[in-house]
């Protein structure tokens, strides 16, 4: 699953006085034997939770600050801890300190490193805290940041789509149902449909973040703590909107991971449908667009090939994200309250979903930005599929005929056109009048595709005016 692309320092580090040994476990006191290497390898989460080092340290800084302010530990010790943690942060960030890949997890590593540096004082950091509420805090912090990053990437894509739509307000193309040509629209209208979908994604991510933005720290292992914690102070320091209201739930809740994976799965459904259309539009059968060389690939054997690999891979990668959602749901569905080790599996799944979506958007947005729209091919396809038949029927309705009769008469005209290899535009007026005497020369104006599109003034429709309004509103949403 998670391929480790985000690991910092993927090599083993031995701090000077633990050289050659496993880093001490935090919970060693009760145990008489050393941990088996196999147990540590299996149990350890450091390979995927080391990416939370920044959040772990920031969370610990806030916790230590509060412990000092609330008089739970001495002020000067709190200050030393904060100072020590800041130094560890700078050392990891600059590469001076590598994360020990034999540590049990990132929490153990940071606390161990602090204790090595500060001695007794370092051991006070974990007062009134458990790794259970610590890990719940760290994931929320990381995912808040990732959610914002993904929202920004979605906004970039939406903004590219709006620009492309502005350039294609007059680009007539067939709209499809059942992949059969149905009614005339513009390419701008089609692109704005994706903007509507992506704006819902933004809204969903915002909503997910609202419930994610609750501080679990202070829940302890499961039953809170007897220390007089100031949880609201920690929430303020870390930018959380509120604190969790039940300590059991505080450490057991991973709804925010599931919700994020669900929202990201829907993002991937949208990108995957879009990809499918890109793939079709690139084919010789459609030839509605051409992708830039920089965002296409060739074949090792067929010299003529130019393949839409990015779109295909995005479509394929949707499966990974759906898999991550399924994994999270399955991990959580059968575990009794409160923390169970099963929950350690949450991180690889949600990180994979987050990384996959980010990677897809990184490639997808410039692919769209640089594609060439083959307007003439779209216009030609629109001319051939009788996509103005509804408008022809509406013309008769305008002359007083009930819609059902108008529908039937137009159907007969289409059959004549197919027989004679003509279109509604090229069918002589005599043929129209032979089917129904309501027809006049003005029918040719009524079925002109440009008019058919621009008369669809209804809110949400394909007319230039309506699409301009859609673009305006979308730009307001992305700010
Ligand atoms: N690495 C653990 C996880 O990701 C941290 C929590 C450990 N808590 C415990 N009770 N073992 O879930």
Instruction: Give the pLDDT score at 120.
Output: 96
Residue with tokens 């010789």: 284
Instruction: Give the pLDDT score at 450.
Output: 93
Measured by CA distance, the residue closest to atom 2 of ligand 1 is 344
Say whether 296 is catalytic. no
Does 25 contact ligand 1 (Cβ within 6 A)? no
280: phi then psi, degrees, rounded to nearest 5: -65, -45
Q: Which residue of 44, 59, 105, 106 sits with most ligand 1 atoms within 8 Å of its CB, as the best mutation to test the pocket?
A: 105
* DSSP state letter for 6: T
Does 48 contact ligand 1 (Cβ within 6 A)? no
Which CA distances in Å does 373 have to 48, 160, 165, 278, 315?
42, 14, 11, 11, 21
Instruction: Give the pLDDT score at 9.
Output: 38
Angstrom distance (rounded) from CA 253 to CA 334: 13
pTM exceeds cut of 0.85: yes
* DSSP, residue by residue, 397-457: HHTT--HHHHHHHHHHHHHHHHHHT--TTTS-HHHHHHH-TT--TTHHHHT-HHHHHHT--
Does 83 contact ligand 1 (Cβ within 6 A)? no
Instruction: Give the pLDDT score at 33.
Output: 82
- 451 burial class (0-12, 13-18, 19+ CB within 10 angstroms)? middle
**For 89, what's the count of Cα atoms within 13 Å in the CB-facing half-sphere?**
15
Instruction: Give the pLDDT score at 23.
Output: 52
Measured by CA distance, the residue closest to atom 3 of ligand 1 is 344
Segment-wise mean pLDDT, segments of 10 residues, the chain, 479 residues: 39 42 63 85 96 98 98 98 98 98 96 97 97 98 98 98 98 96 96 98 98 98 98 98 98 98 98 98 96 84 83 98 98 97 98 98 97 97 91 95 96 96 94 95 94 94 97 97
Measured by CA distance, the residue closest to atom 12 of ligand 1 is 344
- 334 burial class (0-12, 13-18, 19+ CB within 10 angstroms)? exposed
Say whether 63 is catalytic. no
Kindly give the number of the ligand 1 atom that is closest to the alpha carbon of 339: 10
Of 178, 245, 300, 430, which is the active-site residue?
A: 178
Does 344 contact ligand 1 (Cβ within 6 A)? yes
């Amino acid at each position: 699953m998670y391929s480790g692309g985000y690991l910092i320092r993927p090599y083993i580090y031995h701090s000077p006085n633990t050289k050659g040994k496993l880093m001490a476990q935090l919970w060693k006191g009760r145990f008489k034997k050393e941990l088996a290497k196999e147990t540590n390898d299996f149990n350890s989460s450091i390979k995927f939770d080391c990416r939370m080092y920044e959040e772990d340290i920031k969370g610990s800084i806030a916790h230590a600050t509060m412990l000092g302010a609330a008089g739970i530990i001495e002020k000067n010790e709190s200050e030393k801890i904060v100072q020590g943690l800041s130094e560890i942060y700078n050392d990891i960030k600059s590469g001076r300190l590598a994360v020990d890949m034999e540590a049990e997890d990132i929490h153990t590593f940071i606390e161990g490193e602090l204790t090595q540096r500060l001695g007794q004082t370092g051991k006070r950091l974990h007062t009134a805290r458990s790794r259970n509420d610590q890990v719940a805090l760290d994931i929320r912090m990381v995912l808040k940041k990732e959610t914002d990053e993904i929202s920004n990437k979605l906004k970039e894509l939406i903004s590219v789509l709006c620009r492309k739509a502005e350039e294609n307000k007059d680009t007539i193309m067939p709209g499809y149902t059942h992949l059969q040509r149905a009614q005339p629209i513009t390419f701008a209208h089609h692109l704005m449909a994706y903007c509507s979908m992506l704006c819902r994604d933004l809204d969903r991510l915002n909503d997910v973040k609202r419930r994610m933005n609750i501080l679990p720290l202070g829940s302890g292992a499961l039953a809170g703590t007897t220390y007089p914690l100031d949880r609201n102070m920690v929430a303020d320091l870390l930018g959380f909107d509120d604190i969790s209201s039940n300590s059991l739930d505080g450490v057991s809740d991973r709804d925010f991971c599931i919700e994020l994976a669900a929202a990201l799965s829907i993002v991937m459904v949208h990108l995957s449908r879009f990809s499918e259309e890109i793939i079709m539009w690139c084919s010789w059968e459609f030839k509605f667009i051409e992708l830039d060389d920089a965002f296409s690939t060739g074949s090792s054997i067929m010299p003529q090939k130019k393949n839409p690999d990015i779109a295909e891979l995005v479509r394929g990668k949707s499966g990974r994200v759906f898999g991550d959602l399924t994994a999270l749901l399955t991990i959580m569905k059968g575990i009794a309250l409160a923390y169970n080790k099963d929950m350690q599996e949450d991180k690889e799944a949600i990180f994979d979903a987050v990384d996959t979506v980010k990677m897809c958007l990184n490639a997808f947005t410039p692919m769209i930005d640089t594609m060439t729209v083959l307007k003439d091919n779209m216009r030609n396809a629109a001319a051939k599929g009788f996509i103005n038949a509804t408008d022809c029927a509406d013309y008769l309705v305008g002359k007083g005929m009930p819609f059902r009769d108008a529908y039937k008469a137009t159907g007969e005209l289409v059959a004549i056109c197919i027989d004679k290899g003509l279109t509604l535009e090229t069918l002589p007026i005599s043929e129209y009048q032979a089917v129904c005497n309501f027809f006049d020369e003005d029918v040719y104006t009524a079925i002109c595709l440009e008019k058919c599109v621009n008369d669809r003034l209804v809110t949400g429709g394909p007319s230039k005016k309506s699409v301009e309004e859609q673009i305006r509103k979308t730009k307001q949403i992305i700010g």
